[in-house]
Chain A
């Protein structure tokens, strides 16, 4: 392989990216060395097993990926703004919509939510960490390395271009030659390992680590939504693991699972992909529902309406999520009987979802609503998500779907549910729990600007796409003719897209502004909250979270304590030594070996893949022989941290 095949060449956009990557890396190395931060980086972050720090690293990575995926989106919108544009060629456009979709779902939405779950859930259940802190670090680093492997594709070797769904035979060696598609397979495979481990970790954490008195039906709704999400992850992600492995075998080892030769079955890929892919949709929406439940309840000053109905509807949604996958390919020859069944199951999901919408509305009804930014995002969610939901029911009708399939109507539908649902939730949750993570709030005034610019931009961008779709504009086309008449609405859509981009920049500016100027919180209860994460005395909980594990007597325990004026004050007598897990560099090293193995497989360099895999197993065995029972935090240290007067 020659160097100009190894590096992507010939496109000025990519050269620009090369330069910016290089400058960023030099900048980071310079900063770390100049200010002597290497040891800090290793001790505080790379080896940490603290769920709060891992959560913050997940969120930082997700925001970076949101930037990358967002730039992809704006490149596409620029190309589509006018008919017959020459900004991107078809291959480049294909690569960009592929990476946009994959990054936004796998490397943005999931880590953003998992990051917030990491930060919040152990605090909400009154635990000092997760069940397996070490495994939690493995989860993060495999996700991170998977994301990095996927992301370098656009400068080394070339990006995948077969869509985030990677249907066969388009994704086969014949039609997608080169390493691009392998990046997709290996990047997702490595990140998927981390996701499965997160699923197991948090399921056990929520089942076994709850504070005394917190029965299942006293858990906060975000914890409940996380529990249900973890169950879906545990049963859905192995399907993706297998599907990716089988396609990897097809591409690297000549098997015939999905190929045209050897009587392979291309539709098998579509089925396996969506057997994972549809539950995946609920993996990224249920935690969002949970966050909105917390925020709406907090800022309406009321207990969540229909607590049990919320839980049962989530469980129903989780069950249904495995029974609807065929609706992604109604037009691909399943036949009327099969389509009818999946049409009905799909529409049935609308019922528990509708129950949740009404519960949120009734929570607000007669509440003393405070229009904080998290609340604005939550209300914006209800309005916009319903638009996405209603068009979803339209798409669910199999006969009608023949009209919408693979048009911009569909594109608009899933952006209305994924942006108005998941992305709004990520913003709302980030702002809501920001003081828990960093000790100060994001500026509310700037935050409201972000909300309005983003939400208006979002509607300006995607509302026209419904009409473009009904007018027949197919998705995944890199250009269209003047005569089609789609020009004006596309221009409007592009303007909306750039408004969302501006809103993102203002959000980032807000992070900087608030870091400089925001008033630091003096208590742990920044929003007058209801759940245990707000009950810590300091704004940012210490690494052991709770000096004394709280005892819970009912739903919204902390809120009711405050109402009754009976918030417990810690005394020195309450403090006992606290057992905590030790940091470990092994997860980071293991993930680095995964990178070596993945990179080797991407380029079909088996020697490199084998070295990487030996490294992975080596670190596993090393860990097996490592007996580390953690350490105890002394009573004196806790008393000093908690500032308890003796």
Chain B
């Protein structure tokens, strides 16, 4: 397996080892399973949206300002994550770490505003046990938030390894995989933005 391989000089570092290639492919397939997971959560949420029992309607509590801040932070973080991988391709460890740290900061900012929003909803009388609709909301959006939280820890671990070991086929494959994960969370957020917040507000305010 790990015999001496010859490479096109343009082959990115993360694709230069057999294990790197296998791990990247496996992670793409894992993202396929994640799509099935989030699709199930979205379907559940959409079925339950009208079922608000005695609680407030979903769109009633959504606020544009918080939503836009969260969206701006997360989408920008996806861009900076892309810049980090771009720097990795140029073998620029410092650039990679810098942009990844920016990405993490934006991710933390996103989490801060998401938690503030959740606390606000709870304060307004909407929590996971208020109605089927709110159960659906908190678990769908919360699952995304939990993924972001895990991603922050994960990226941090990988950055420590890059700082310690430099860019090798092994560390670069790890960076690349975390970047796939991070972009994926961005894509999921776009669906949450549309299917949860926009539709919720349009349905409520007409």
* Chain A contact residues, CB within 8 Å of chain B: 128, 131-132, 196, 199-201, 203-204, 207-208, 234-239, 241-243, 245-246, 249-250, 253-257, 259, 261-265, 268, 272, 275, 579, 617, 621, 624-625, 627, 629-630
Contacts and interface: CB of A to CB of B under 8 A. Distances in A.
B161 interface: yes
Given A235-B36, A237-B33, A242-B41, A249 B139 contact: yes
Contacts of B138: 255
A265 B132 CA distance: 8
A305 to B, nearest CB: 32
- Sorted from nearest, which 6 A-B pairs have the closest CB atoms? A263-B51, A238-B37, A255-B135, A254-B129, A238-B36, A242-B40
B26 A204 contact: yes
Given A246-B44, A621-B157, A128 B1 contact: yes
Contact of B53 (A204, A250, A262, A617): A262
A241 B39 CA distance: 12
18 contacts: A132-B26, A234-B29, A234-B32, A238-B33, A242-B37, A246-B44, A255-B128, A255-B135, A255-B138, A259-B132, A262-B51, A263-B51, A264-B135, A265-B48, A624-B161, A625-B160, A625-B161, A627-B170
Interface residues of B, number: 41
Nearest to A275: B40
B29 A264 contact: no
B179 interface: no
A265 B44 CA distance: 10
B83 interface: no
B52 A263 contact: yes
B135 A238 contact: no
Given A253-B128, A256-B131, A624-B161, A204 B25 contact: yes
A254 B36 contact: no
B123 to A, nearest CB: 18
Contacts of A204: 22, 25-26, 29
Given A255-B129, A265-B48, A235 B40 contact: no
Nearest to A235: B36
A56 to B, nearest CB: 24
B132 A264 contact: yes
A241 B37 contact: yes
Contacts of A239: 36-37, 40
A241 B131 CA distance: 22
B33 A234 contact: yes
Contacts of B48: 257, 263-265, 268
A242 B48 CA distance: 15
B71 interface: no
Contacts of B32: 234-235
Interface string B145-177: 000000001100110110001000010001000
A243 B2 CA distance: 41
A298 B128 CA distance: 58
A262 B129 contact: yes
B34 interface: yes
B200 interface: no
Most buried by A among B36, B51, B130: B36
B47 A629 contact: no
Contacts of A262: 51, 53, 129-132, 135
Name B's interface SS. helix
Contacts of B36: 234-236, 238-239
A203 B29 contact: yes
Interface in B34-88: 34, 36-37, 40-41, 44, 47-48, 51-53
A131 B27 CA distance: 12
A201 to B, nearest CB: 7
B136 interface: yes
Given A131-B22, A254-B128, A264-B48, 5 more contacts: A234-B29, A253-B128, A255-B129, A255-B135, A268-B44
Nearest to B174: A624
A261 B54 CA distance: 10
A581 to B, nearest CB: 10
A207 B22 CA distance: 10
A263 B161 contact: no
B33 A257 contact: no
B30 interface: yes
A249 B128 contact: yes
B129 A579 contact: no
Most buried by B among A235, A236, A262, A579: A262
B135 A256 contact: yes
B157 A625 contact: yes
Contacts of B25: 204, 207-208
Given A238-B37, A242-B37, A579-B2, A257 B22 contact: no
B17 to A, nearest CB: 9
A579 B2 CA distance: 7
Contacts of B53: 256, 261-263
B37 A263 contact: no
Contacts of A242: 37, 40-41, 44
A253 B128 CA distance: 8
Nearest to B54: A262
Nearest to B37: A238
Contact of A265 (B29, B51, B129, B153): B51
A268 B157 contact: no
A624 B44 CA distance: 34
Contacts of A275: 40
A194 to B, nearest CB: 13
Given A132-B26, A200-B33, A265-B48, A257 B136 contact: yes
A238 B34 contact: yes
A236 B37 CA distance: 9
Contacts of B26: 131-132, 200-201, 204
Interface string B12-26: 000000000111011
A204 B20 CA distance: 13
Nearest to A580: B1
B6 to A, nearest CB: 17
B139 to A, nearest CB: 6
A489 to B, nearest CB: 42
A472 B139 CA distance: 42
B135 A272 contact: no
Contact of B129 (A234, A253, A263): A253
B132 A235 contact: no
Contacts of B51: 262-265
A246 B30 CA distance: 21
Contacts of B139: 245-246, 249, 255, 257
Interface in B91-122: none
Contacts of A629: 2
A266 to B, nearest CB: 11
Contacts of B52: 263
A235 B30 CA distance: 10
Nearest to A577: B3
A268 B47 contact: yes
A627 B157 CA distance: 13
Contact of A257 (B2, B44, B130, B165): B44
Contacts of A235: 32-33, 36
